[in-house]
Structure 1
Amino acid sequence: MDTDVLIVGAGPTGMTLANELLLAGVSTVLVDRLPQRSDLSRAGGVQSRTLEALDQRDLLEPLLATGDHPATTGHFAGIPLPLQPERHRLPWRAVPQVVIEGFFEQHLAEHGLHARRNHELVGLAQDDDGVTATFADGAALRGRHLVAADGAHSTVRSLVRAEFPGQPGTLTIVSADVRLGGVDPLTSHTWNEDGHWAALFPLGTDPQGRPLRRLVLGGPDRSRPREDPVTEDEVRRGLNAVFGTRVRLLELRYARRITNASRQAAQYRHGRVFLAGDAAHVHLPLGAQGMNTGMQDAFNLGWKLGAAVHGWAPEDLLDTYHAERHPAGAAVLRNVRAQSLLMDWAGSRDPDVLAAREIFTDMARIPDVQHHLADLMSGMAVRYPMPGADTHPLVGRPAPDLDLGTARTHELLRSGRGVLLDPADTFAEAVGPWSDRVDRVGQGSDTEPMLVRPDGYVCWAGADDPEPALARWFGEPR
């Protein structure tokens, strides 16, 4: 074996997974077909659940120190959602994908892992022991497992002949990174009577401190072939159609056409090959859900691959990756389709669509509806199917964002190991045989007993015996 895990694709999903594997003590090779890291922003923000996961890994503070990344309101179908500080300690932050990739590239390099670039995958073969990948230059690499993080047009997905059902793209819209004059507030969705529309989102600032924005333009005559270049004149005409002369294009930094295709791999696992990120699911870029869902795929899969490599994984642990993440991805595709309908993405001005949007806008003023939509968009609504989820409200959900009492507790949560919170010092003997994989926090943790997996999800809670859950998720005792 050249490595334990070979990751194909050095975007946010691949780099997040590489970091998880480093934390698990697993040898990793990260390859990418591009000669250098892309400087395109693509996704524009990080959601609450991903921010929590980065904070668990002690990465959030240094990430936010890379520049101006304001906290801002989210939206559902262009309807603003107020910040939910009572529910989400870490609100949506405007951290573009290019910043995420640059941050992880530097962080991984500091730990000795550098992406091998100019590696175009052309072949795959797997057997009972591992996977062999061959590249266009004739080189080959062999690993125990391989993860496809190579994007929407995944070569790995094609080579393993994975089914990728869904809806093909029927139209395109323009997505551009711009500097604008005469626009306020930072985030807005605006339609005109003809069906032309524009959406604006903050992207932080450029090196001179000037605000950058993501501009999305659509409407009844905006769709063009995806390969057609986007010109400055087209962007100016799109702005003028929606805002008139009050909004001016000062600089066009990057623009592309995106489609409304919606597809999801039927299976995320193919033997020793796993699909993650856009290789597993594609949809319209609403709320940066594609990047965040991919990073959550990586958090879910990383510790499980580590357990398999180290030999303590329960027999079906790797199968839980598909069982947990496929429903999460399907939920994202479902909410994106609903949003595109309510936003009148095609600019049809269909009276039925407008009536539905008007009713939905009124409903979105109800606090409980706002909470539900904010949880949906932030990733906090995900609940994994697992034993105990039908009997305890915490099981299957992200661990509550609590003050756990001591610096030692925070250190343990950032170790990449499991953590048993045991405030009454009841389960010291029970957890002992798993002490090489699970840390225990005794008195001082102001919470009920719970077992937290390395990805931050509760897999047991309450007062009953934790040993079945320890064996279910952390394998046989020593």
Structure 2
Amino acid sequence: MHDVVIVGAGPVGLFLAGELALANHSVLVLEKDPEAASPFKELPLGMRGLNVGSVEAFYRRGMLTALLDASRADAQQVGAHPDAHEAPAPRDVSHFAGLRLDPADIDPGVLPPRLPGPAMEGIMTSLEAVTGVLEERVTALGARIVRGAPLEAVTQDGDGVLARAGGCDYRARWLVGCDGGRSAVRQLAGFDFVGTEPLFTGYVARVALKDPDKLDLGFNLTPTGMYLRTPFEGHLGMMDFDGGAFDRSQLLTPDHLQTVLRRISGTDVTINEVHLASSFTDRAMQTSTYRNGRILLAGDAAHIHSPLGGQGLNLGIGDAMNLGWKLAATLHGTAPEDLLDTYTAERHPVGAAILDWSRAQVATMHPGPNAPALRRLVHDLLRTIDGTTHVFRNTSGLAHHYDLGNNQPSVGFTAPDFRLGDGTRLGDLLREGQGLALDFTAGHSLRETAARWQDRIRYVPGPVANGLGFGALLIRPDGVVAWAEGPDPDPEAFRRAATRWFGSLAA
């Protein structure tokens, strides 16, 4: 029997597998596709933007350098327009409904406190680079991946879960569905999936154009929809507001793509050849809970929405980072009784907010007589400091906040990248997936109390280059501040916080 079976070997499933294997649990990943490689993972169709929160997650697990190297290598293999930046180029501060934000208009004073470090901005990368780095880590940690194994059935009892995939049975104590927007786990396990129906059909394609200069580079909002031409030769994106009528169940012919492109762009541009193409919609749905007994969901299996702003992959990585250490502690038998319930409690509101964010962008881009006035209003708001900062808070991943029942301003936010006197950074200390007790007081006031959790919490004394006024902090394995106090921290308050998140000593 495995500790955990994960269904889906995409970025979310692989990231979660790495978290669990890091905690010395036996992990099996089942993937329906027989091969890891896919042209839809490669640049340009596999291009993805990682926000600062996701980059920080890779940094805190020691994978950021490898990801940057893989992203650069991918970009060098693909012919790009001469005006393109060498990947991984900064994502600036993203966009809202195709309207770019100016980084100079961000007010850092209203954002959670940050310190300079390696993970300061988002990057452009590819699914191929992301999954390659994650798979290398998972394999090195001893997890097993079985490909060509589509899920056929799932049953559970009080002791575990039985999954049948590819004609074989696999038994585990827990099962996590990370198998995408059409999740077999979600359907077979009976999760509710509710939300709003689509307004558009979207397309991504790599084509050969007879007359590419008829299409402007970048996001182009038109009276009938939107088209995107990127610096990669022949790479196009389109949004056709047809109510989602043309989805992935229908064949994408060159004639259909050309008809849609001409209608949206208002040009007579000609497509000579279609190399690759796929479609999607802005259907926005979410499960009511991320857990059903011993079966959990993460990533697109738990929530789907339009890809505007590139929030889907980032949301899924956040799910994996949040769930991994909690499920690991539950398997070890050291977790507080309700720890696993906090996964849904913390991540469901984040997912719901991203779905609303997606809906708002679609509404702003929707054609019609009132659309130009709405877009002008949004454009004007995004030229203000407050407007730009608000959008950045909601797209960067840095401002996600969990209500941990503590009114201290930093609790529930991602921790700053503190740098100790010997040059060690918080990101370095989190690589092993342990909790951290950071004690910046000269008297090391928490040493004796923290030592009682030494198998779960690593005690780290100061000095620190810039403690931001903190005397001590308790950091969860996902990098979230669980407790913080000023220069004279109370060991009893620390004990209560440690018990809340890391279990009692009798556990």
Q: TM-score, normalised by structure 1?
A: 0.89
> 1:183/1:119 Cα in 2 relative to 1: closer, same or farther (>3 Å)?
same
Post-superposition CA distance 1:288-341 (Å, at most 9, x none): 211111111000000011101111000000000000010010000010000100
Question: How far apart, in 2, do the equivalents of 1:246 and 1:423 lie?
Answer: 66
Post-superposition CA distance 1:189-219 (Å, at most 9, x none): 2123x424213456xxxxxxxx468532124
Q: What residue in structure 2 maps to residue 76 of structure 1?
A: 96
Q: Any conservation in 2 of the 1:229–1:256 contact (CA below 8 Å)?
A: no
Q: What residue in structure 1 maps to residue 495 of structure 2?
A: 467
Q: What letter is aligned with 1:385?
A: D
Q: Any conservation in 1 of the 2:200–2:241 contact (CA below 8 Å)?
A: no
Please give the secondary structure, in 1, of the residue aligned with 2:391.
Answer: helix
- Offset at residue 185 of structure 1 (A): 8.8
Q: Any conservation in 1 of the 2:215–2:229 contact (CA below 8 Å)?
A: no
- Offset at residue 108 of structure 1 (A): 2.2
Question: How far apart, in 1, do the equivalents of 2:65 and 2:214 lie?
Answer: 30
> 1:179/1:399 Cα in 2 relative to 1: closer, same or farther (>3 Å)?
farther
User: Does 1:64 find its partner at 2:68?
Assistant: yes
Q: Any conservation in 2 of the 1:43–1:291 contact (CA below 8 Å)?
A: no
- Offset at residue 356 of structure 1 (A): 1.9
Q: What letter is aligned with 2:99?
A: I
Aligned pairs for 1:131-210 within 5 A: 131-137=161-167, 139-177=168-206, 182=213, 188-192=218-222, 194-200=223-229
Q: Any conservation in 1 of the 2:214–2:269 contact (CA below 8 Å)?
A: yes
Post-superposition CA distance 1:354-402 (Å, at most 9, x none): 21221111011111221120120122221012121xx211000111234
Q: Any conservation in 2 of the 1:43–1:285 contact (CA below 8 Å)?
A: no
Post-superposition CA distance 1:42-67 (Å, at most 9, x none): 56211110000110011011111012
Q: What letter is aligned with 1:458?
A: V
Q: What residue in structure 1 maps to residue 434 of structure 2?
A: 417
- Offset at residue 459 of structure 1 (A): 0.6
Aligned pairs for 1:239-278 within 5 A: 239=261, 252-278=274-300
Q: What residue in structure 2 maps to residue 207 of structure 1?
A: none
Please give the secondary structure, in 1, of the residue aligned with 2:251.
Answer: coil
Question: How far apart, in 2, do the equivalents of 1:220 and 1:167 lie?
Answer: 15
- Offset at residue 176 of structure 1 (A): 2.2
- Offset at residue 169 of structure 1 (A): 3.0
> 1:141/1:25 Cα in 2 relative to 1: closer, same or farther (>3 Å)?
same
Post-superposition CA distance 1:419-452 (Å, at most 9, x none): 1111102211121101111112212223212111
- Offset at residue 343 of structure 1 (A): 1.4
Q: What residue in structure 1 maps to residue 149 of structure 2?
A: 119
User: Does 1:399 find its partner at 2:415?
Assistant: yes
Question: How far apart, in 2, do the equivalents of 1:33 and 1:413 lie?
Answer: 32
Question: How far apart, in 2, do the equivalents of 1:37 and 1:257 lie?
Answer: 21
> 1:299/1:69 Cα in 2 relative to 1: closer, same or farther (>3 Å)?
same
Root-mean-square deviation (CA), in Å?
Answer: 2.6
Pick from 225, 229, 238: which aligns with 2:246?
Answer: 225
> 1:154/1:255 Cα in 2 relative to 1: closer, same or farther (>3 Å)?
same
Question: How far apart, in 1, do the equivalents of 2:481 and 2:182 lie?
Answer: 34
- Offset at residue 253 of structure 1 (A): 4.3
Aligned pairs for 1:363-402 within 5 A: 363-388=381-406, 391-402=407-418
- Offset at residue 287 of structure 1 (A): 1.9
User: Does 1:308 find its partner at 2:315?
Assistant: no
User: Does 1:355 find its partner at 2:373?
Assistant: yes
Question: How far apart, in 2, do the equivalents of 1:213 and 1:17 lie?
Answer: 35
Aligned length: 460
Q: Any conservation in 2 of the 1:190–1:242 contact (CA below 8 Å)?
A: no
Q: What residue in structure 1 maps to residue 236 of structure 2?
A: 215
Q: What letter is aligned with 1:452?
A: I
Question: How far apart, in 1, do the equivalents of 2:395 and 2:309 lie?
Answer: 7
> 1:466/1:349 Cα in 2 relative to 1: closer, same or farther (>3 Å)?
same
> 1:107/1:190 Cα in 2 relative to 1: closer, same or farther (>3 Å)?
same
Q: Any conservation in 1 of the 2:18–2:143 contact (CA below 8 Å)?
A: no
User: Does 1:9 find its partner at 2:8?
Assistant: yes
Q: What residue in structure 2 maps to residue 53 of structure 1?
A: 57
> 1:416/1:360 Cα in 2 relative to 1: closer, same or farther (>3 Å)?
same
Q: Any conservation in 2 of the 1:45–1:97 contact (CA below 8 Å)?
A: no
Question: How far apart, in 2, do the equivalents of 1:10 and 1:278 lie?
Answer: 13
- Segments of 5+ residues of structure 1 without an aligned counterpart are 203-210
> 1:460/1:260 Cα in 2 relative to 1: closer, same or farther (>3 Å)?
same
> 1:472/1:380 Cα in 2 relative to 1: closer, same or farther (>3 Å)?
same
- Offset at residue 414 of structure 1 (A): 1.4
Q: What residue in structure 2 maps to residue 208 of structure 1?
A: none
- Offset at residue 106 of structure 1 (A): 2.7
Q: Report which stretch shifted further, 75-84 or 289-298.
A: 75-84
Q: Any conservation in 1 of the 2:476–2:482 contact (CA below 8 Å)?
A: yes
